[in-house]
Structure 1
Amino acid sequence: MKEHDQMLNKTAQGPLSDIRVIEMGQLIAGPFCGQLLADFGAEVIKIEQPDGGDPMREWGREKPHGRSLWFPVIARGKKSVTLDLRQPKGQELARRLIGTADVVVENFRPGTMERWGLGYDALAALNPGLVMVRVSGFGQTGPYARRAGYGAIGEAMGGLRYVCGEPDRPPSRVGFSIGDSLAGTFGCIGALIALHARARTGCGQVVDSAIYEAVLAMTENLVTEYAAAGYVRRRSGSSLPNIAPSNAYPTRDGTEILIAANQDTVFRRLCQAMGRAALADDPRYATHTARGENQVELDQLIADWSGTMAIAELETLLESNGVPAGRIYSAPDMLADPHFAAREAITRIADPILGELAMQNVAPRLSRTPGHVTRTAPLLGADSAAVLSHLLGIDAAEMAELRAGGIVGGPAPAAVPPFEAETVGTGA
Structure 2
Amino acid sequence: MADIATAGPLAGLKVVEMGQLIAGPFCAKTLADFGAEVVKIEPPGSGDPLRNWRLLQDGTSVWWQVQSRNKRSIAIDLRSADGQDLARKLIAEADVLIENFRPGTLEAWGMGWDTLQALNPGLVMLRISGYGQTGPYRDLPGFGVIGEAMGGLRHLTAEPGRVPVRVGVSIGDTLAALHGALGVLMALYHRKVHGGAGQVIDVALHEAVFNCMESLLPEYDAFGAVREAAGSALPGIAPSNAYKCSDGYVLIAGNGDSIFRRLMEAIGRPDLATAADLQSNAGRVARVGEIDAAIGAWTASRSIAEVMDLLGAAKVPAGKVYTARDIAEDPHYRARDMVLTQRTRDGHDIAVPGICPKLSATPGGLRTAAPRLGEDTDAVLREAGLTEQQIALLREKGVVA
Equivalents in 2 of 1:256, 1:112: separation in Å? 47
Residue 183 of structure 2 corresponds to residue 190 of structure 1:
yes
TM-score by length of structure 2 reads 0.97
Per the TM alignment, residue 152 of structure 1 is displaced from its structure 2 partner at its CA by 0.6
2:265 to 247, 269, 272: 272
Are 2:37 and 1:65 aligned?
Answer: no
**Structure 1 stretches lacking a partner, 5+ long:** 1-5, 410-428
Is structure 2 residue 396 aligned with structure 1 residue 396? no
User: In the alignment, is residue 175 of structure 1 matched against residue 168 of structure 2?
Assistant: yes
Larger deviation: 344-353 or 154-163?
A: 344-353
Partner Cα distance (2:158, 2:369) in 1 = 35
Unaligned runs of 5+ in 2: none
- What displacement does 1:114 show? 0.5
SS of residue paired to 2:7: coil
Compute the displacement of 1:358 (Å). 0.7
Distance change >3 Å, CA 345–CA 230, structure 1 → 2? same
Q: Show the counterpart of 1:39.
A: 33
Counterpart position of 2:334: 341
- Read off the aligned partner of 1:251 and give its amino acid letter: C
Quick check: 1:18 aligned with 2:26?
Answer: no
For the 8 Å contact 2:5–2:362, the answer to whether it is kept is no
Shift of 1:9: 8.8
Alpha-carbon distance in structure 2 between the residues aligned to 1:183 and 1:313: 39
Instruction: Confirm or deny: 8 A CA contact 1:84 1:408 kept in the other structure.
Output: yes
1:245 is aligned to 239
Q: Number of aligned pairs?
A: 400
Residue identity over aligned pairs, in percent, reads 49
The answer for the alignment partner of 1:230 in structure 2 is 224
Q: What aligned pairs does 1:280-291 form with structure 2 within 5 A after superposition?
A: 280-291=273-284
Deviation digits for residues 370-417 of structure 1, max 9, x if unmatched?
Answer: 000212210000000011101x211221111110000101xxxxxxxx
Aligned pair 1:30/2:33, yes or no?
A: no
Residue type matched to 2:397 in 1? G
Deviation at 1:294, TM superposition (A): 1.3
Residue of structure 2 in register with 1:382 after alignment = 375
Mapped to 2, the partners of 1:126 and 1:356 lie a distance apart of 42
| 8 A contact 2:6–2:362 mirrored in 1 | no
- Corresponding residue for residue 154 of structure 1: 147
2:4–2:362 CA contact under 8 A, matched in 1: no
Matches within 5 A, 1:21-170: 21-60=15-54, 62-170=55-163
On the 8 A contact 2:17/2:98 being kept in 1, the answer is yes
What is the rounded CA distance, in whole Å, between the counterparts of 2:241 and 2:273 in structure 1? 18
Alignment-mate amino acid for residue 192 of structure 2: A
CA contact (8 A) 2:5 2:363 kept: no
Distance in 2 between residues matched to 1:383 and 1:25, nearest whole Å: 17
Counterpart of 1:163 in 2: which secondary structure?
coil
Q: Distance in 1 between matches of 2:277 and 2:158?
A: 28
Once residues 176 and 11 of structure 1 are traced to their aligned partners in structure 2, the CA distance between those partners, rounded to angstroms, is: 32
Give matches, 1:261-340, under 5 Å: 261-340=254-333
Q: Is the 8 A contact 1:270 1:321 kept in 2?
A: yes
CA distance in 1, matches of 2:303, 2:382: 63
| CA–CA separation in structure 2 for the residues paired with 1:65 and 1:51 | 17
Task: Using the TM superposition, name which of 280-289 and 180-189 deviates more.
Answer: 280-289
Residue 140 of structure 1: CA displacement? 0.4
Question: How many angstroms does 1:334 deviate by?
Answer: 0.5
What code does the residue aligned with 2:329 have? A
Evaluate the alpha carbon distance shift between residue 312 and residue 81 of structure 1 in structure 2; reply closer, same or farther with a 3 A threshold.
same
Aligned-partner Cα distance in 2 for 1:369–1:145 = 39
Deviations 1:20-43 (A, max 9, x none): 000002010100110000010000
CA distance in 2, matches of 1:306, 1:10: 50
Deviates more, 1:64-73 or 1:179-188: 64-73
Q: What is the CA distance between 1:365 and its match in structure 2?
A: 0.4
**What is the RMSD of the two structures over their aligned residues, measured on CA atoms?**
1.5
* Other structure's SS at 1:70 match: helix
Q: Any idea what the Cα deviations from partners look like across 1:123-146, whole Å, max 9, x if unmatched?
A: 110110000000000000001111
Distance 2:377 2:351 in 1: 27
Amino acid aligned to 1:271: M
CA distance in 2, matches of 1:341, 1:363: 14
Report the Cα offset of residue 278 of structure 1. Answer: 2.9
Letter in 2 for 1:387: V
- 1:268 is paired with a residue of what secondary structure? helix
Kindly provide the amino acid, as one letter, of the partner of residue 25 in structure 2: P
On the 8 A contact 1:279/1:286 being kept in 2, the answer is no
